[in-house]
Amino acid sequence: MKKHKRFLFALLRALFLAVFLVIVLFPFYWQLLTSLKPTREITSMSLLPNWSTASLDAYRFIMTERPFLRYMLNSFCIAMMTTVIAVTISSMASYALARLNFRGKGAILASILAISMFPSISMISPIYLTISQLGLRNTWWGLLIPYLSFGMPLSVWYLTTFFRTIPYELEEAAKVDGCTPLQALVKVIIPLVLPGTFTTAILIFIQAWNEYLFSLTINTDDLSRTVTVGITMFRGEYTIPWVEQAAAIVTVTFPLAIVVFLLQRQIISGLTSGAVKG
């Protein structure tokens, strides 16, 4: 009877996972399917590709007729700069919040969390005016400032949790052995929180890569746009190039999905390492 129940439970779990995967992966599959179709077949509801008419013309078009590679470069560089700066500064701030006892620490953490919850649309006007006055419109730095303003609070909140899981005795032992506080941080603490730091970096990178509103408002020059905005600008005056947009979406999503798939163990390890305090 117990074996029958276990088998039934395993079967239901497998069925649930299969349905879940279909729901999650179907939009990406449909975009991939659309990107291979000729324009005359985009209204076809067939779930299988028609290999007799399938082609890579849409991919060739976005690479040669559109500045798509420039969009990709802009997004990658801005997201990478945001990630490196946010994680570097947030690591030091999080270490101080996790290790030092001072008045108002709880209020600071609460304020950081509150800032991260602000809707982007409520901040677009003052940020746009500031960027314009600094002369940073249509530059990478013009987007780096608002991206950091929203990315760093989340980074500090995540990393503070990870730093709290490290036993304080390890740091004390390092100081007894002659390490300065900075050496103890670099040589002992940071290596132990690498899974959490790595996970935080991935989340910040994805957030910056997918951002749309600030990029649309601040960078209006075609060659300075990020890929999320560039894709929406594919449309013409009277038509929408659905096939080219689908090809662009697949090109943008596929590398990121592969990276997350290959690094899923590190990401899960980082997410769970802060769940239990050491």
Place of tokens 């901040």: 123
Residues 6+ apart with CB under 8 A from 252: 72, 75, 227, 228, 231
Question: What's the pLDDT tens digit per position in 77-127?
Answer: 999 999 999 999 988 888 888 887 878 777 888 888 787 777 888 888 889
Per the CB < 8 A criterion, the answer to whether 82 and 205 are in contact is yes
Task: State the alpha helices, DSSP H only, in the chain.
Answer: 2-35, 57-64, 68-99, 105-116, 124-133, 140-164, 168-176, 181-184, 190-192, 194-210, 213-218, 227-232, 242-262, 264-273
CATH of domain 67-273: 1.10.3720.10
pLDDT at 194: 82
Number of H helices and number of E strands within the chain? 14, 0
- Domain extents in the chain: 67-273
pLDDT at 276: 45
Per the CB < 8 A criterion, the answer to whether 142 and 177 are in contact is no
- pTM (two decimals): 0.83
Distance CA 71, CA 53 (A): 29
Q: Give the mean pLDDT of 175-185.
A: 79
pLDDT value at 73 more than 90:
yes
Encoded tokens for 14: 């497998």
Nearest to 40 by CA among 28, 23, 57: 57
Question: What's the pLDDT tens digit per position in 125-174?
Answer: 889 999 999 999 999 999 999 999 888 888 888 888 888 888 888 878 88
Distance CA 154, CA 117 (A): 9
User: Confidence class of residue 227 from pLDDT cuts 50, 70 and 90?
Assistant: very high
C-alpha distances in angstroms, 223 versus 18, 63, 74, 127? 42, 14, 9, 21
Encoded tokens for 84: 């490196």
pLDDT value at 70 more than 90:
yes
The pLDDT mean for the chain works out to 84
Residues 6+ apart with CB under 8 A from 149: 115, 123, 127
